[in-house]
Structure 1
Amino acid sequence: MLQQLVKARSYGSGRADCLKRVITSQRLAELELSPEIDLGRHHAKAVTSVDFENSTGRYLLSGGVDGTILIYDVQCYPDGSHTECPVVAKARFGSNQEQRRNPFHFASTDNKHSISAVSWYPHDTGIFLSSSTDETLKVWDTNTMSVAEEFELDDIVYHHAMPTSSSHFLVAAGDRNGVITLCDIKSGSAIHVLRHHKQSVFALDWSPSSDFILASAGRDNTILLWDIRKVGGPLVSLDQHNGAGVASTSSILTAHNGAINGLCFTDEGRWIVSYGTDYRLRMWDALNGRNMLINYGRVTNWFSGHCQLAVTTCGHTSKGGGFIFVPSGHDIVVLDLMSGKRLGVLEGHFRTVNCCALHPYEQILFSGGNDCKLLAWSPKRPVVKETHTARLNTHNQSTPINAYQDSWSDDET
């Protein structure tokens, strides 16, 4: 099939991006623990969140339970050989009073300042954001690794999200009280709150296709879609049974039979993937809120807070081609987005995996877990079989012929 696509491309027939999609899908289906990319062990405790910047795809951001935020350069190979990716910036802090005196203060050991989520500002690597169990959302200056703006919220922040476009500068932060606060990082003020969840908000995501559509999920088993331009509550509460009242916001409509701690739009914003403590994943139509009823099987979910999924459609969603990477216990389960088929399991962490993120331009997955490790997963390298001719050429290169060498035997006359 690949040869046919190459031939079709050479003749100018077929879709121009078809070959790219097929190769991308094949590479993502063959991920294994990378033998080349080593991120070392720089977190003293569990890694809770990771994110890649989209400008160059060079810098990886990570946050941990110990309150540490690290930035890795994943493309830095000084000698051109296998080496550990360097940490180019670091911030660690303790209590609020300690941070006001010194933003680089070492984190305290009581886990009161665990990083819930980290994210890059979509259009500038000079800014990134972090939310924490210290009830704050912080905006950081990357150049100085200091806090440029801080939003003090009313309770523990489990997750935050910012849209990828530049239509507005709002960051949504979900807390333990079930309140979603919209923080304007341009003005430095919390401008609005969304109240409808009955319990903690664990996961948030903005639609890539509409800057004002926000999805939220939490401990109350519900997924809500919001249009932040409108007042009066959410647009829809997703119903796992696709009942007649799917457009209602009644609290009896549930998306899962357990807390929902994983939520993600697909690349183009057409679908929503959710992950619940009922050990189920579901895919939803983002246009009408319907459950697509795809059976992904049972996937173990041990998380008491946010779980970071990685979802990609490889540019299309027809008959496969999309992937879901789901942290499940000590492993990462790989599922086909459209069929629900389990494609494999990535094994490498020694303890629970908390988060994973795909590189924006390459088929490389990064994951972090309770073993304090960040791991990289890259496509398998093709095995090149050595032919007899190749062995002869190798031998000839290693033992060059000397035209003046005496090849006569002593027994010959």
Structure 2
Amino acid sequence: MTQDQHRMPDAHAVVTGRRGAMTGTSLMTLGATMVAAPLVAKLVGESITPAAAQAAAPETLRMQGKAPLVVLGDRPLVAETPETLLDDAVTPAEKMFIRMNGRIPEPVADPGAWRFRVEGELNAPLELSVAELQARFEVVTLQLQMECGGNGRAQFQPQTRGNQWTSGAISNAEWTGVRLRDVLNAAGLKPGAAFTGHVGADPHLSGEAGRLSISRGMPIAKAMDETTLLAFRMNGAAIPNVHGAPLRLIVPGWPGSLSQKWLTKILVRATPHDGAGMGGTSYRVPVRPIVPGSENNGRDFADMTSMPVRSILTNVAHGTRLPAGMREIDLRGAAWAGDDTVSALHVSVDYGASWQAMQVAAPANRHAWQRWTGKARFASDGYFEIWYRATDDKGRMQPHAAANWNPQGYGANAISRVAVLVG
């Protein structure tokens, strides 16, 4: 099978049954005495009731080599990772969220023979195999965040178009590859080189020959960042096919749609790329706030660049019941801020009336997420919500409600919360 031959897996083979709650090993509990209630979607601006929890019970993924992710769509396949499955410092392949734009290509027999081209505003365009990339350029390994541009979309009111992500369209895997800038420098950038355009081998859902499912690009400065990689290994092993093997682009801190899977070509351009997923309202946000729910063609929008500050709580499931008399629990999670770093993480158990600072670790390297730890304290038995918010190194913190509404729901990063019942 060549890299030009593809197939679409049977969606019904990977999406299971009724919309049942995820239970058992898919939930992280706080100790042997605790009982984890069903995991449900977070609700914004209203109480979290048993009836609402039951209505929000998710459909789960059944795919070999993948954890029971929450299915948001099956054409194309889109699946979110619950926060409690993101408790690893380095995200395992089985727990990485899935965001397809087209069909999933057939795995290749010889990954080292996969060929990749750079062309356009270059003095000496290159065509190299994966094996030649590894042999010719310095190989580096970095922990890198990758986040869907629509992460948090479910927070917007009124609801926007697209997959209704909560906070689980994020990963922090360890990627091995070569720096894209080293390859571009070897090809020699012409004075007019200002943007890139990316091409992958995933066919369009329609099956129409030559039609790309997604083809995005970025300013040349981001392409030349030392953490922008042409990756061929993930967590020390071959990249799983569903995540873009044998070669994918990793553009950390910016929308994950730039991290082209099954990469075959990078165009170096003098003008912004005009491929599928560029222009209009695609991965673009208003320069000036617009009326929520209004129609807009995106003419006055700007491309998304660095993703906003965000945090997750990874060791306490939403709906957890704690033993009567328990007054303190350990908390841990992760936080990140696109091209920036996280300077603080605070937790509230009294609806934001007061906040307690948590401990935030330094990133493993630039563009890795940061782990945080601390304790929540309860004054009595009863119903509590743990609110958590991150602040970046420029002083920007997660807002109480999703801001800058836009038709495709990008950039929502409101404070998250989980409910617990003590006693």
Work out whether the TM-score is over 0.5: no
Higher-strand-fraction structure: 1
Q: State the structure with more CA Rg.
A: 1
- After TM superposition, the score normalised by the length of structure 2 is 0.28
